[in-house]
Structure formats: C-alpha cells, structure tokens
Chain A
C-alpha cells in the first residue's frame, strides 16, 4: 500500500518544505516567525529521515528523528525564554530593531 507513493515524492516534498522554511527565514523580519520557519526546516529534515528509514527499512532514522524532536523542543524553550526576556527590555520583535550591538 505504501509503495504506491515512491521515495522521490517524499524527497521532493521535503525539499519544498525546507526551501519554504529557508525563504521564510530570509524574507521575514519577525523573530518568532523566523523561529517557526526554522522549525519547519527541521520538520522537512525529519520527513527525509523517516522516508529514508522506511525505504531502507532501518530504525536508525526514527531514532534520529526522536532525538531531533526532543532537542528541538528544548531549543524552542530556550529561544522563547530569551525572546520574552528581551521583550522586558525592549518593545520589539523585529530583528532589524535589535541594534544595541552594531550588527
């Protein structure tokens, strides 16, 4: 049943998701949106891993994805903690307004 969708479809799909995420990182200025776009890129990677894991019939890809998910969760927690903390100092989420350091 699953064989009806070939591997290349999944790879194409994940490349698309990855690129949309990358484009979002480049285009958008809002820090939270950038963070969400990075999460989408991670998701594209996870999809690649799981597709390979299925089509190579190896559990390693799933183990890797599990680790990525665990780490991504804490990474977001740290990022948002920093963002909220910065928000106490400043009224901005626009990345171009973070300019107390000369970028």
Chain B
C-alpha cells in the first residue's frame, strides 16, 4: 500500500476535527445545527475506526520495525499491526468518551465545538505517537498529546479546580518532557541518528552507562504519560479537577500511548543491548502497583480513587513489559509479555470507560462524585449497580470478567520468565484492591442513601454502558479472537530477532 493510503485513519480524524472546529465558528450560538457537532465527532471516530479495519489486512506484520527510515513507505511512522492495535484502542476511547460526554458537556460549557475537535486531535496525537519510529516524531506526538490534554483538563474555565488541575498537569508535563529530551539528546550524540532502528544498529557495548542514563531520563517522559510511580504526582489532581469525560480519556488514552511508545523504544532501539532491564522495570512496576493501591484505600472521591486505581492498573501492565525484558529473544511472540499488555489494555479500556460512564451519569444527576453519594444506588438504578459490580470485578481480576484474562496473561508471562516475586506482588496488590472497590460496592448495595429518586440514563449513556459491559464479559467468555488479536499485534517483536 502506498503512504497516503496507510495514513487514511490519521487524515480522516484530522479532517473531522478541523471540520468540527470550523463549523462551530461558522454557526453562531443560536444556530440549531450546532447540535450535530457531537454526532459529527462520533461519525469521525467511526470513520477512522473503519479506515483502521480497512488497512488491517493489508499490513504486513513483520515488515516495518526492522527497516530504517529509508526502507519504509511512510517515513518515521510504522504502520504495523502493533500500531494499528493501539490506534484502535485510541479511537475506541475517543468514541466511547465522546458518546458519554454529551450531557456533561452541554451542562458545563457552551464550547462544544472546541471540546470535540480537541478530543479528536488528542486521538490523532495518540495515533501518531503509537506509530512513531523516530525520536523527533515521538517528541512531537507526545507534546501534541500533552498540549491537547492540558487544554481539555482546563476546559471548565469557570471552575478554578479545573484550571488549577490543568496548570499542575502542565508544569509536571513540561518538566518531564525537558528531562526526556535530555535523554534523547544523549542517544543522538552517541549514535548520530534519531531513528530508532539506526540507533539500535550503532550503539556500542562500551556505551552501556550512557544508554542506561538515557533510558532513565526518557522513562521520565513516558512514565509521566503512563503515570508510573514516581512520575504520577500530577495524576490525582488532574483527574479530580478535569471534566469527568476527560478524566476518563486521560485514564486510558495517554496510558496506552505511553505504553506503546515505551514498548517500541525498548523493543526497537535497545533490543539486543547488553543491559538487563528487568530490575529497573520490575522495581517501577512494584512501586506503581503498591503506591496506587495503598493510596487508593484512603480516597473518598470517586475520581480520585479511580486515579489511583488506574495508576495501579498501569503497574500491572508494566509487569508484562518486565516479563518481556526477561524473556529469551525467541519467546516473545506468544505469552511473551507484550501480547499480555495488549490484552490487558483492551480489557482495561472497556472496563475503565464503563466505570467512568457510570461516574458521569451519577455526576450529571447529583453534581458530585463523592463515594458517599453512591449509597443506595441499587434502589435507584439496579442496572447501573450491577454494571458497576461487573466493572469492579474486572478491575480486581475476578472471573468471569475480562480483567481476569488480562491479569492471567500478564502474571502468567511473569511466571513464565521466573519472575515469581513480581507476580506475587501483582496478586497481593490485587487482593488489596478488593478493599477499596468493594468499599464502593458496599455503599451501592447495602447502605441507605438519602435520595431515592431513580437515575435517568440517556440513550448515548445507555449505549456506552451496554457496550462496555458486553465487551467486559465477552473478552472473558469468548476470549480466543481477542487473545489471537493481541498475539498477532505483538508479532512485530519476533521479527527483530
């Protein structure tokens, strides 16, 4: 396929984003046509998704990663199955968040065009980031994602908390990207190139100290996006202050993007390099899981609790990467850790977006997101209560939910490589997480709430909750296609050896 056709998803989403922003300017506030803007964003997301499916069969899963820029159809962007998988996650996130944002946005801000336009652009930036094979592209796409996230986090300008959250996010983000750039500059100096594959080819073993330093510096940038401990301080504040649909977006989109780019850098630029990454990655994974889970225990605000819970979830995903780094090169294709991350991420996306959809519904109704206000939800909306139960079971990793399959694969990969301590930490952390998830559920099912009026759920919201519930169960009950999908997408790793 030629370059232009391989880039159709990116081109489609860009066109829709700018169309929405332009139409928003063209139609003044009284114009009734502005009501279609959210649906235009939805259509844009669907069109992009279709383009991804259209490209999928034509993409050779092996061909791209090993090739340097010169041999690639699209310079600096690898359109392989791994990047398409992450693009799919990005677009699905944008679609589901866009659908669940409707009422919230209408209630809180008159600027609908900017909201949906910027959200599509944030989706675009993730799509670019996950396929970047060049430090320049990685930097640009990462900054693109950061800048759109800052704006979206501060979107409720009337609300000081939203602006404050955005400012904190911004300060940490600018610092993280500066530190990351220093790492990039060291790699460039050592190899004279910014192309990942060329870097891999020209690194020498005498440069081990330098490479370790560069990776630690770069980890600041990627870890900031994924919210790994110790680069997570921004996330609870940003999650609490941001508009709730954006919190949902932040909890999935940037995490997926950061993981994808971390995987690509580790796998493509530093594959056969003679440094054992397992201790660094395991340590970060253990800290991320433990801090996330332990601090989540004390939270009283749903958004804040979910912030810490999603930090912990990112820690589980990192277990997969640690397992990959410990694997002998030949074992990467199946159960090698990376396919586990992808499967976990797929499950996590549906589950977490489902939880946030419920949080948005309740916030629309009650105006707060305190866990105490979830009391007596079972009497107000049995459907949402049961859905929440399923989502939380999935986040803990109890069958028959997708979270169980994800954790099974991630911890299974760790055990496969003999990382028993790491897997044990993972399981132990999952047990801790039961406490706070079930704390919410106890409120929902057994406490008596002050308000007994039934919860009204709109059509879009109902769709989101239903889709996420179905997918959360489907990945567990009929998992083979999804496992196959993840393994297929992770195949590029095998091509490197």
Contacts and interface: CB of A to CB of B under 8 A. Distances in A.
A64 B150 contact: no
A98 B164 contact: yes
Contacts of B188: 49, 52, 60-61, 64
Interface string B158-170: 0011011111101
Interface string A65-103: 001100100110011001101100110000100101111
Contact of A60 (B175, B194, B236): B194
Interface in B375-398: none
Nearest to A49: B185
Contacts, number: 112
Interface residues of B, number: 40
A90 B192 CA distance: 48
A97 B24 CA distance: 36
A100 B237 CA distance: 9
Interface in A27-68: 31, 34-35, 38, 41-42, 44-45, 48-49, 52, 56, 58, 60-61, 63-64, 67-68
A84 to B, nearest CB: 10
B185 A48 contact: yes
B194 A79 contact: no
A20 interface: no
B482 interface: no
Nearest to B190: A52
Given A58-B192, A89-B163, A101 B178 contact: no
Contacts of B170: 75, 78-79, 82
Contacts of A25: 175
Nearest to A99: B164
Contacts of B237: 101-103
Interface stretch (B50-58, B135-143, B456-464): B135-143
Interface of A: 11, 18, 21, 25, 31, 34-35, 38, 41-42, 44-45, 48-49, 52, 56, 58, 60-61, 63-64, 67-68, 71, 74-75, 78-79, 82-83, 85-86, 89-90, 95, 98, 100-103
